[in-house]
Amino acid sequence: MAKKQKSFRPKARRPRGFRDRFGAEIVAEREMLSRICSVYEQYGFDPFESPAFEYTDALGKFLPDVDRPNQGVFSLQDDDDQWMSLRYDLTAPLARYVAENFDALAKPFRRYAVGSVWRNEKPGPGRFRQFTQCDADTVGAKAPHADVEVVTMLREAIIAAGVPQEEFIIRLNDRHVLTGLLELIGIDEERDAEKKLGVLRAMDKFDRLGVDGVRLLLGEGRKDDSGDYTEGAKLTDPQIDRVMAFMGATQETNAATCDALADLIGGSQAGAKGVETMAAMASQLAQLGVDDNMAKIDLSVIRGLEYYTGPVFEAELTFEVEDDKGRPVRMGSVASGGRYDGLVKRFKGVEVPAVGVSVGVSRLLAALELRGVAPNNARGPVVIMAMDKDQMAAYQLMAAELRAAGIRAEVCLGASNFAKQLKYADRRNAPVAVIQGEDERARGEVTLKDLNLGAELSKSIEDNAQWRTAQPAQFAAPREKLVDAVKEVLARTY
């Protein structure tokens, strides 16, 4: 007799670099996004939404700053043989939209967007393959005035998200300054495009890898702790020395940094333009109350995406955090942006000035949670205990009354007995359990159990007799006063 063939059962497993999210984290992110978007709207930006997929040729060859060039996106081939890719940011879709609707748009075109983006890159602490971004962009306004506005708005958005001013800094640089450096070390941006990208990617890792790590990436290459090898830019030692001198030119004040840069790269026309733009931005920001301690020129800021053409900036947290095992975690940049005057040009053939910023909300929220600032335990709903199955309509009416008063509420529909229903309420982090059995119904009452107070008192009450005598966390209320009684419990603990 033939053996019965086993049916296939896939292993329940989550793809590496992706996360499942539930409840409190989503609520916290939604609230943070609301505060950030409120700042964007105050500055006159309108909401915008683009599809998750774009045609791969619309995204272009310029992939995110990853350790594996040309493997930075998730792609698939449609049934018409065209390649589509999940968007790796919210800016490339914006450029496509502006080009597609150019004549109909009021310019400057100002929009903000919130959505998931996907990066096919190596995961790490606070670094996921899918995460949420919150962008704001101005298309059609030249530097430096629109750039100053975006930096000022970014500062307000980070504060609105819950980070005090003294715990983050916005760091500034300019792509023209980098062009001037490349000219001085003999790299032609057109002829040596791959070498140029290798240099910029290496410089962009300065904060994470330090001087030694960047020198290796500027030279032959670097092997990380996991054994993965990254090919280097193959610069000569004199070229590497010049690059490292440039990255060490950041001074105490923005004015002093601009003076140092003028000496280092003033002989380059592009470099001189970059210094002039940064000096103008620093001056305007100072007049707006954003001084050198809030927004600082820092030559280690290198945005790896090729479309940046002018000022670049990023917001970096300055406080230290630890993971759940007590290990130090460096969260790094939680927002970045810059000027990308050439991105729409890929579609239109003419340069269109544009500047924008993107807040990495997932990373920012993770940092605040590790810091213990963001809520990690959202309040659950009030739970109506289903004591008698033939009274379900009455229980649902109780829940409806609470909802009408703006209180989250649900009837326990799954568990069969009181103990299991109470356990369910605890697991739901319910603040209150509402009980109405036959006796309460005969008296026209409900019993309210303050679950938070009960949990606290249980730590100090030593025996059941004492608990039954006290019962401070449980009381009766008239049925018609249900809403008022629940509000009373919520008011004393929230």
pLDDT of residue 446: 96
End-to-end CA, the chain? 67
pLDDT at 490 over 60: yes
Q: How many CB atoms lie within 10 A of CB 485?
A: 20
Q: What is the rounded CA–CA span in Å between residue 111 and residue 23?
A: 29
- Please, what is the average pLDDT of the chain? 87
Cβ-in-10-Å burial (0-12, 13-18, 19+) of 160 comes to middle
Q: Which residue has the higher pLDDT, 68 or 379?
A: 379
Cis before 431 (ω within 30)? no
User: Shortest CA distance to 411 belongs to which of 397, 427, 426?
Assistant: 397
Q: Which residue has the tokens 């568990």?
A: 415
Q: How confident is the model at residue 378 (pLDDT cuts 50, 70, 90)?
A: low
Q: Distances in Å between the alpha carbon of 345 and those of 315, 340, 433? A: 28, 10, 61
In angstroms, the CA 179 to CA 9 distance is 56
**How far is the C-alpha of 235 from the C-alpha of 216, rounded, in Å?**
10
Mean pLDDT on 2-13: 82
- The predicted model gives 25-38 an average pLDDT of 91
Distance CA 295, CA 299 (A): 13
* Strands annotated E in 185-302: 221-223, 229-231, 295-297
- For residue 285, give the nearest of 145, 408, 419 by alpha carbon: 145
User: Which among 9-13, 87-91, 441-445 has the top mean pLDDT?
Assistant: 441-445
Q: Which helix (H) or strand (E) holds 40?
A: helix 24-42
Burial class, 228, CB count within 10 angstroms (exposed 0-12 / middle 13-18 / buried 19+)? exposed
| Gap between the Cα atoms of 136 and 94, Å rounded | 10
Q: Lowest-confidence range among 66-80, 173-187, 195-209, 298-312?
A: 66-80
Asked whether residue 467 carries a pLDDT value surpassing 50, the answer given is: no
**Nearest-10 crossing angle of helices 237-247, 193-204:** 50
In this prediction, residues 340-351 reach a mean pLDDT of 89
226-250 pLDDT per residue, tens:
878 888 888 999 999 988 988 888 8
Burial string for 88-116 (b: 16+ CB within 10 Å, else e) reads bbbbbbbbbbbbeebeeeeebbbbbbbbe
The answer on pLDDT for 203 being more than 90 is no
Per-residue pLDDT tens over the stretch 409-465 = 999 998 778 999 999 999 999 999 999 999 999 999 999 999 987 555 444 445 555
Q: Residues 45-60, buried b or exposed e (16+ Cβ, 10 A)?
A: beebebeebbebebbb
Domain extent listing, the chain: 24-371, 382-493
In tens, the pLDDT along 165-178 reads 999 999 999 989 98
Confidence category of residue 62, pLDDT binned at 50, 70, 90: very low
CA nearest neighbour of 254 among 279, 285, 271: 279
Q: Please give the helix or strand (H or E) that residue 177 lies within, else none.
A: helix 175-184
For residue 356, the SS3 value is strand
Q: Which two tokens stand for residue 302?
A: 């290198």
- Mean pLDDT computed over 305-312: 80
Mean pLDDT of 381-386: 95
The H or E element containing residue 150 is helix 145-161
Superfamily of chain region 24-371: Bira Bifunctional Protein; Domain 2 (3.30.930.10)
Q: Which spans in 306-384 are helix H?
A: 345-348, 361-371
Look at residue 369 in the predicted model and tell me its pLDDT: 81
Percent of the chain with pLDDT over 70: 90
Least confident of 13-22, 42-51, 274-283, 391-400: 13-22
Q: What's the average model confidence in pLDDT over 212-235?
A: 88
What CATH class is the domain 382-493? alpha beta
φ, ψ at 222 (rounded to 5°): -145, 140
Structure-token pair, residue 341: 């005057």
Would you say 47 and 37 are in contact if contact means Cβ atoms under 8 Å apart? yes
Query: How many degrees, rounded to 5, is the angle at CA 104 between CA 99 and CA 109?
Result: 70
Asked if 201 contacts 326 with a C-beta cutoff of 8 angstroms, the reply is no
Mean pLDDT of 120-146: 88
